Amino acid sequence: MSTSIVRIGVVGAGSISESHLNAYKNNNDVQLVAICDLNEERAKAKAEKYGIANVYTDYQEMLANPDIDAISVCTWNNSHAAISIAALRAGKNVLCEKPLCKTVEEAYEVEKAVRESGKQLQVGFVRRYASNTRIVKQFLDNGDLGEIYYAKASCIRKLGNPGGWFSDIERSGGGPLIDVGVHVIDLCWYLMGRPKVKSVSGNAYYKLGNRSNVQNLKFYKAADYNAEINTVEDMANALIRFENGASILVDVSFTLHAKKDELTVKLYGDKGGVELEPELALVTEKYDTILNCTPQINNLSFDFVAGFQDEVDHFIGVCQGVKETLSPVEDGVEMMKILCGIYESAASGKEIQF
C-alpha cells in the first residue's frame, strides 16, 4: 500500500525542535516545508541546516500556507494551546510537545478544538513510544505482572535549571514538575492502564534558585539561557491516588544538594514488578523462587534519539490515517489535571480531590 507524503511545519526553533527536525528528516514519508520562530535568525539557521524553503516569524502566517499538512509545536508552554488550537482550526494535524498547555482550562479548549476540527492531535509523551515501553506493555497487557497497584518515579538533577523560559513561570507554567516530572508521571500512569485520578498531595520547594554560581560542572541550558529570571520550583514531590486504589509516588528536581543525578521508574504488581529506569529489568516469582529477569535488547534504558524517531514515525502514520495515536488529547487533559493539582496542593498545603 502506498502512503502519502506528509508536509510538515515546525513552530519553535529552540533546543527541542532539533529532536523533531532530525526525526522528520529521517522519515521518507515527510517533506519539511516550513519553520517558524520569533527569532528570525534562529529560524533561518534551522531552515538552512534542514533544507526548509519557508521561514516565518508569525505562526498564523505559517498556518495560512496550504502546503502544510501537519505541524510540530516546539514553543514555550504558554503558547502550546493557542498554536495547537489555531493549527487544528486551519485544518492541520498537530504534534504538541508536552505538557499540552499551562492550565486545565486551556487543556479543555484544546480538546474542544480537536473534537470540532476532526483533525488529530498527538501529545508529545515521547516515553510512550520508546522500545522499552512497548516491551513492558506487552508483559502488562498479557497479565504477566498482574494488577499494577504502585509506581515510584524519581527524576533528580543535582544541578540543571535550564534558565531562560524554563525558569520563567509565566512562559513555562512551572519548573521540574511540569518539565521532566510530566514524563515519568505519564509513563507510570500509561503503563498502569491510565486509571482515573482521585486525589493528589504535593509539595514544591523554592530554596536554592538556579545556582548559576556553581563552577566546574556543566549542565543543560536553554537556547535562551538567562540566569536573571527564576520563578519556578527547585524540586517537587507528590502522592497521586487513583480511583482503583493504585498510587504513584514521585519526586523531581532541577537543583538539589544530591550526590548524583537520579532517574528511576518502577512499577509493582501482584504477580511481578518492573524497573524501566535506570535499566529495564523484570522481577517475578516462579516455583517459590524470586527471579530478576534482564531482557536481551539493544538499549536497557531510554534511547532519546530513537524515542523521538519512534514518536514522529507514529505521528506520520496518524497523519496518513494508518495509525491511532498512543497519546491522544484526552490524556493530555488528564495529565494537566494531575500536574495543576500538585501545584495547587503545594500552594494550599492541602490534598486536592477530583
pLDDT confidence of residue 220: 82
Q: What's the CA gap between 318 and 118, in Å, rounded?
A: 13
DSSP-based three-state secondary structure for 227: coil
Do 6-125 and 128-309+334-353 show the same overall fold? no
pLDDT confidence of residue 1: 42
* Arch. (CATH architecture) of 128-309+334-353: 2-Layer Sandwich (3.30)
**Residue whose C-alpha cell is 543525578:** 261
**Best CA proximity match to 255, nearest among 175, 201, 187, 170:** 175
DSSP-based three-state secondary structure for 258: coil
pLDDT confidence of residue 268: 98
Low-confidence ranges of the chain (pLDDT < 70): 1-2
Q: In what order do the strands lie in the sheet with 247-253?
A: 289-293, 281-286, 272-277, 262-269, 148-156, 247-253, 235-242, 197-205, 352-353
| Domain 6-125, classified CATH 1.20.120.340, yes or no | no
Residue 40's φ and ψ, nearest 5 degrees, are: -60, -40
Sketch the domain layout of the chain as residue ranges.
6-125, 128-309+334-353
Q: Write out pLDDT tens, residues 79-103.
A: 999 999 999 999 999 999 999 999 9
* 353 exposure class (CB count in 10 Å sphere: 0-12, 13-18, 19+): exposed
Q: Write out pLDDT tens, residues 151-207.
A: 999 999 999 888 889 999 999 999 999 999 999 999 999 999 999 999 999 999 999
**Residue whose C-alpha cell is 485520578:** 197
pLDDT confidence of residue 219: 86
DSSP-based three-state secondary structure for 6: strand
